[in-house]
Structure 1
Amino acid sequence: RLKNRTCNLSFYITSILIQYNLLFQGPPPTNLFQPPRRPGLGTLGKPIRLLANHFQVQIPKIDVYHYDVDIKPEKRPRRVNREVVDTMVRHFKMQIFGDRQPGYDGKRNMYTAHPLPIGRDRVDLEVTLPGEGKDQTFKVTIQWVSVVSLQLLLEALAGHLSEVPEDSVQALDVITRHLPSMRYTPVGRSFFSPPEGYYHPLGGGREVWFGFHQSVRPAMWNMMLNIDVSATAFYRAQPVIEFMCEVLDVQNINEQTKPLTDSQRVKFTKEIRGLKVEVTHCGQMKRKYRVCNVTRRPASHQT
């Protein structure tokens, strides 16, 4: 009887261990992706043609080359980083870039259709931009990262791979956004251009700009470029005096014979602080400066 109890206890412990493994470890992992089968096409109704804001992207069967770009000083706006990289490509055309036109995301990712003649070495370059009041020098470091295969993306879209390679999707997104980022004003994932043929004032020196939002996404059997209309508010380009009149609701500047009150100055300072202005009293040398404050003293008393 003692032997039977020992066997039953052993069988009981074995059953508990099996249940524990099934409960906490789960079924064996599998890399096979089995999507649900698509139902048959519809047969009722009248076929119609629809216009959609999705456009098919033709993907070449090539490799693209991914590089890390480190720009110092850091924490600069994407617009400044793009100017730095664009100047770098033009300045070092003969030594490094040749006919290559890189795609750049404004931060650290750069892609080229052909490898740069630097191998996997790190290259340090200096780039100078005309700055706000004085020229600015940036140190740019280029480092090889990886080779991105667009052929793998095509195979994934055809259903031959279980997952869509994210590095290929990212490369396509950066490449398709590079040229609009250089031609238009990017805000988030949208692009805007100054109004032409329309004017929608919002008051306070602001106006509406229309643009477009774009993104590259994998779809059934191919990649699609999605484009939507966007709108946002911008400060209108105008003389600072006119901007002040709009902000302070001054109808005629010639009738403003008294200096600004403290409340008017504070209100105007809140609106203009951080904006860029271009000086016009230096002839052909038009410098741009960023406003940090509005002084209490008039211009006639400044030295």
Structure 2
Amino acid sequence: MRVWSMFKENIRSFRAIQPLLNEIDIVRKGVNLVLKMAKPNAEQKAEVKDQLRDLRSLAMLGFSQQSYDLSPAQTYKLQGYLKMYQAQTGPEAMRNILRGINEQFNHGDTPVAKWLRLVEKLYDYKVKSQAEIVGLRDLEKQARGLQAERLAAAAEKARLSLEIEEEKLCILLKDADPVKNKDFVAPDYDKTYELVSKVINEKITLYPQGGRTPLLYAFRRFVKDCGGDQERINKGILAADKHGHWEIEIPQDLAKLREEAQTFVTDRIVELEKTEQEMGER
């Protein structure tokens, strides 16, 4: 029974990640359309092909990192990508890949060219949002390990809010995708481009240098002051859980956020199954 349960979980994980990989494939198609206009030489084409392959691998590693701790082999692979693309995190490496492609080849004014610049802008946002989400997840994990449930709930609430916001931006960008949505034409796309660009920029400005979430900012400052002393950190977490002024509505908010976050996952899986069915009927 345990083997069957693990098998079903693996299938579910595959279905959950597939929409993300589909999005990466759309980016790849967009890049290929831009390359047709730029007319790179054979060596440049091969280099971009490798970069797009790395983009896909980084997306898979990022998904895995959100679900569980990476294996030593995965960590080693990620570190190699970070060094190669001069990045501190996976999202930053992905941003650097697309930024390099855009700077070198994407000089057009077509809807696809503009959309790829929007994707780069979204990756700019993800560099910041994912750093915040990872930090909140770490705080949540530490708090739950110490049974500091009120603090853990506050961290989870903040994390889910950011994850939902990020997912909504991804959907916004998907709706503006001219690679798949052939109805977009150059003159009309300017308004779409400006709108999506404005929305993403507004979200980016919500991240000051110290981070966006007051709870995480305070925790990071505290950890720094502790000099890495885990015993002091644990005592601080327990004290914050006991004496913090937590919002009474956090449990109700959490239930709503968990439901909304699960809805996004379910909708993505349903969308994938619909696509698979349509492809099977062709």
TM-score range, shorter chain: under 0.3
Greater C-alpha Rg: 1
- Report which structure shows greater RCO (CA 8 Å, sep ≥6): 2
Q: TM-score when scaled to structure 2?
A: 0.26
The structure richer in strand per residue is 1
Q: TM-score when scaled to structure 1?
A: 0.25
